[in-house]
Amino acid sequence: MKIINKLYLQIIKKPKNKWLIILYLWLFGLPLLAKRLRYKFTKELLPNKIRGKRILDVGCTIGDFALILAEKGANVVGVDLKNRMRQAQKIAKIHQLKAKFIASDVNKLEYHYYFDGIIALDIIEHIQNDSKFIKKLNSMLRQSGFLILSVPSIYREIVEKREKEIGHVRTGYSKSQMTKLLTPLGFKINDLFYVDTQDKIHSFYTTRSQLKRLIIFPFLYLIARKKATKNEKGAILFCQATKK
C-alpha cells in the first residue's frame, strides 16, 4: 500500500471494517474533495525535477503532502501551528525519507534564502496580514525559487457560518487580487487559474451524511478536477510564481 494510505490508516486508529477502508483508499484515495484537488494541481505545478530540492510545506497539517514530496526525492520541511505530524515523522523515518516536521508559527522560522520552493495550500485566507506573510516566504526563498499557493476563490458559494468555523479572515481571492498581492512583493506569476467551475466542493461538504459523501466523492472528483477555461471562474484559485 502507498505510504500516504498507511499514514491515513494510522491516524484513523483501529477503524471498524478496516478492510473496507483499505479497499476504498486503494480504489479512490482519500475522500476529501478540496484536499484532493489541491494536491492534484499542486503536483502539476511542481518543477519536473524536485529530487534534492529543499521545499517548505507551510500549514502541512498531518504531513501527508510533505511525505508525497519526500517520496519524489525532495528534502522537505513541514511546518504547522499544531503538532499533528507525529505519525508522518515516524513513517518518514521508517522509509528513510528526507522529511522534517516542525510545530511552529512560520514567522518564527529562521531559514534565510534557504528553500528552492515553498508550498502554502489554503493558508493565506486565514492570515490577517497576507502581505507580511508573503514577504516572510520571500525571505526564505532562494533566487528563482518557486512559490505555489492555493486559495479559495471569491466566486465560490459562501456559507458565512462555515467561514467563521474554519477561521477564514477573508472569503477568497480573484486572479487580479492575487496578482496585486504577489507582484509588488518580488514575485513573477507563471501560472494562475481556477478549478471546480461548478463549485462541486460546496455541494460535497454541505452533504451531511458521511455515507453519501463516500458514494458521491469519486463522481464529483472526476467533474471538479477540470481546469477552468480562460473566461471561466471556479471555487479554488491556484498560483505558481517565482522569486525575481
Number of domains composing the chain: 1
What confidence score (pLDDT) does residue 9 get? 87
Across the range 71-82, mean pLDDT stands at 96
- 19 lies in some domain: no
Laid out side by side, the sheet with 99-103 consists of 99-103, 75-80, 54-58, 115-121, 141-152, 236-243, 187-195
Q: What is the pLDDT of residue 14?
A: 67
Structural domain contains residue 72? yes
Asked if residue 15 belongs to a domain, the reply is no
pLDDT by residue (tens digit) across 21-70? 889 999 999 999 999 999 999 999 999 999 999 999 999 999 999 999 99
Per-residue pLDDT tens digits for 164-197: 888 899 999 999 999 999 999 999 999 999 999 9
Answer whether residue 6 is part of any domain: no
Q: Is 143 exposed, middle or buried (0-12, 13-18, 19+ CB in 10 A)?
A: exposed
If you ran DSSP here, which 8-state letter would residue 206 be given?
T
Q: Is residue 4 in some structural domain?
A: no
Distance CA 63, CA 69 (A): 10
* Residue 218 confidence (pLDDT) above 70: yes
Q: Is 42 inside a domain boundary?
A: yes
CATH code: domain of residue 135: 3.40.50.150
Cα–Cα separations (whole angstroms), residue 22 to 4, 26, 138, 175: 12, 6, 40, 39
The continuous run of DSSP H or E covering 150 comes out as strand 141-152
Is residue 16 scored above 90 in pLDDT? no
Domain ranges, residue 153: 30-243
Instruction: Dihedral sign for Cα 224, 57, 167, 31, please.
Output: positive
171 within domain boundaries: yes
Given this model, what pLDDT does residue 17 score?
Answer: 79
Local confidence band at 230 (pLDDT 50, 70, 90 cut-offs): confident
pLDDT value for 131: 97
Burial of residue 72 (CB within 10 Å: 0-12, 13-18, 19+) is middle
The percent of residues above 90 in pLDDT, for the chain, comes to: 84
The 10 Å Cβ neighbour count of residue 14 is 6
- List the grid coordinates of 22: 483499505
d(CA 25, CA 155): 31
Flag whether pLDDT at 86 surpasses 90.
Answer: yes
Cα 171 → chain centroid: 17
Question: Which residues, listed in sequence order, are joined to residue 191 by a DSSP beta bridge?
Answer: 240
Measured CA to CA, the distance from residue 206 to residue 209 in angstroms comes to: 9
pLDDT (tens digit per residue) in 102-157: 999 999 999 999 999 999 999 999 999 999 999 999 999 999 999 999 999 999 99
Q: How far is the C-alpha of 22 from the C-alpha of 37, rounded, in Å?
A: 21
pLDDT computed for residue 1 by the predictor:
53
Query: Is residue 7 one of the residues assigned to a domain?
Result: no
pLDDT-derived band at 5, boundaries 50, 70, 90 = confident
In the structure, what pLDDT confidence band is assigned to residue 19 with cuts at 50, 70 and 90? confident
- The count of C-alpha atoms lying within 13 angstroms of the C-alpha of 179, restricted to the half-sphere facing its C-beta, is 7
